[in-house]
Amino acid sequence: MSFADHKKFIDEGDTVILYCTVSKMYAIDVLSQIRNKKGDMIENVFQTDFGALKVKTLIGQQYGSKVELSKGWCFVLQATPELWTQTLPHRTQIIYTPDISMILFQLDIKPGSVVIESGTGSGSLSHYFIRAVKPTGHLHTFDFHEGRTQQARDEFKSHGIDNFVTVYHRDVCELGFKDELNGCADAVFLDLPAPQIAVPHALKALKDSGGRFCSFSPCIEQSQRCCEALALHGFVEIQSMEILQIEDVVKIKTIPVLDLEFVKHKVS
Ligand SMILES: C[S@@+](CC[C@H](N)C(=O)[O-])C[C@H]1O[C@@H](n2cnc3c(N)ncnc32)[C@H](O)[C@@H]1O
């Protein structure tokens, strides 16, 4: 129950982040015991690059504390969507924080929003949608891969955010979104190989009063096909954006300055 609200102390069952270095973080479930391959319950000892941690020692500790590992130390942090994106078990390609911040901004997601998403994938983006729509909004997320939908459901439940999300196992290109969602959505988001096929379904799902649509595409041809489908179905203000993180490079240049005193002297 660690994603739902801000917490001071760690409880058994929380998902926490072990922060060793900026590039070495681990998400772990705080379970005193786990089942081994033989099916027996054994003490849960988590291995990191900086040594082992007896997971039960985390229970009752304050979030943000420094924790001893057998060969070093780390900080134990409360999980956030940003930290989860960096540590989650990948089932698919995922969307990362820089793109996600633009997606949330452009879709105008806020508490109370109803959002439709497909595919769920590894649930990276879903966690941000859920945080943004809480406590009165809802995320409806669709994937045609059954294993991924079940894994996402299990994660949302163990993260204490399952009240704000419904996961559907469904091919949205072939079948569209659920009929009961027609006219319900403030925003539809697609991360699919052929998003243009789902555009008419997205139109049905959006509120009659208007709504926003966004599709994430790793290649320009996909993006072009989607833009064409959007224009065909009457969408307006269609834009393509790319989020690039660029480091500012400061160069020092000396520019010769005109000596006005010298020029004045020469002229007179
Ligand atoms: C790149 S992943 C999505 C990753 C997700 N945005 C994240 O940040 O974790 C794409 C997902 O779309 C699903 N998918 C592809 N075609 C689909 C379709 N027609 N209907 C439903 N899901 C589909 C795949 O199974 C896959 O899980």
Q: pLDDT at residue 45 above 70?
A: yes
The arithmetic mean of pLDDT across residues 74-101, rounded, is 97
> How many angstroms is it from 145 CA to the middle of ligand 1?
8
Q: Is 123 near ligand 1, meaning CB less than 6 Å away?
A: yes
Q: pLDDT at residue 4 above 80?
A: yes
Q: pLDDT at residue 1 above 60?
A: no
- Higher model confidence: residue 268 or residue 106? 106
Domain segments of the chain: what residues? 15-79, 86-232
Q: Is 195 near ligand 1, meaning CB less than 6 Å away?
A: no
Q: pLDDT at residue 262 above 80?
A: no
Q: Has 113 been labeled as part of a binding site?
A: no
pLDDT at residue 226, as a whole number = 98
Q: Is 93 near ligand 1, meaning CB less than 6 Å away?
A: yes
Nearest to 70 by CA among 43, 87, 47: 47
Residue 140 banded pLDDT, cuts 50, 70, 90 = very high
The arithmetic mean of pLDDT across residues 132-154, rounded, is 98
% the chain with pLDDT above 70: 97
Ligand 1 pocket test: pick from 95, 144, 165 the residue with the most ligand atoms within 8 Å of its Cβ.
144
Residue 263 banded pLDDT, cuts 50, 70, 90 = low
Q: What is the C-alpha to C-alpha distance for residues 78 and 5, in angstroms, rounded to an integer?
A: 10
- Architecture of the domain made up of 86-232: 3-Layer(aba) Sandwich (3.40)
Q: Has 122 been labeled as part of a binding site?
A: yes
pLDDT at residue 259, as a whole number = 78
**Average pLDDT in the chain:** 95
Residue 267 banded pLDDT, cuts 50, 70, 90 = low
Q: pLDDT at residue 2 above 60?
A: yes
Phi then psi for residue 248, to 5 deg, are: -75, 130
Q: Is 97 near ligand 1, meaning CB less than 6 Å away?
A: no
Indicate the Cα dihedral angle 187, 227, 170, 143, nearest 10°: -80
% the chain with pLDDT above 90: 92
The arithmetic mean of pLDDT across residues 240-267, rounded, is 85
pLDDT at residue 256, as a whole number = 86
Q: Has 181 been labeled as part of a binding site?
A: no
Q: pLDDT at residue 91 above 80?
A: yes
Q: What is the C-alpha to C-alpha distance for residues 131 and 138, in angstroms, rounded to an integer?
A: 10
pLDDT at residue 258, as a whole number = 80
Q: Is 194 near ligand 1, meaning CB less than 6 Å away?
A: no
- Is 15-79 a CATH 3.10.330.20 domain? yes
pLDDT digits 0-9 by tens, 7-39: 999 999 999 999 999 999 999 999 999 999 999
CA distances (Å), origin 190, targets 114, 134, 212: 15, 21, 12
